[in-house]
Amino acid sequence: MKISHLQLLMHSLTNPKKLGAYRILSIGKVMQYAFLMITLLTAFSFGQFINGGTEKIFSYSEIEQYAQNVQWIVYPIAILFLFVLNTSIYFIKVSLYALAGQLFIKPMKRRGEYRQVWRTAVFASTWATFLTMFGNLFPISPTVTTMISIFITMLFIIIALTKYPVEK
């Protein structure tokens, strides 16, 4: 199946029924998409860090001068730290979504393995990734944003599971 990352992104945002078909994509394509999402999340997080993070870290007058001298090293460390942290959190969330999705397969009388549901969960978590990135731009509680993210992701997974083969 030849499909671009842009098509995957658009389908992940707008067409949950197609996500069921993406369970057969190669793991390489799925991982590329996952790291594309992680890279977007890291870039956005790093932008927030640059725009407001350094003042919060270096707010003491005694160390402001020192901070100015070593600020060039803070940024590479920050982006590396953000990338590793975002990668860990992203894969943990996707794995938990897949585990939850796996619980719906039998009651829905569908066939599917955890690895297939995991691939579906990667694409279904696109909205959750964007809500994580942009959630703090709106006056909404992080708890509410998280609940909305979970609801949308699980809804997309359940809709995608309806396109899995029927159990015999």
Question: What's residue 74's pLDDT?
Answer: 75
Distance of CA 82 to the CA centre of its chain: 14
- Residues in Cβ contact with 94 at an 8 Å cutoff, skipping those fewer than 6 apart: 34, 118, 121, 122, 125
Tokens of residue 29, six digits: 């394509």
Model confidence at 62, pLDDT cuts 50, 70, 90, reads low
Whether the per-residue pLDDT at 163 is higher than 80: the answer is: yes
Whether the per-residue pLDDT at 152 is higher than 60: the answer is: yes
Whether the per-residue pLDDT at 51 is higher than 80: the answer is: no
Identify which has the larger pLDDT, 52 or 61. 52
**pTM for the predicted model, two decimal places:** 0.82
Tokens of residue 73, six digits: 């090293």
CA distance 93 to 112: 20
Question: What's residue 64's pLDDT?
Answer: 62
CA distance 157 to 101: 6
Q: Confirm if 122 and 30 have CB atoms less than 8 A apart.
A: yes
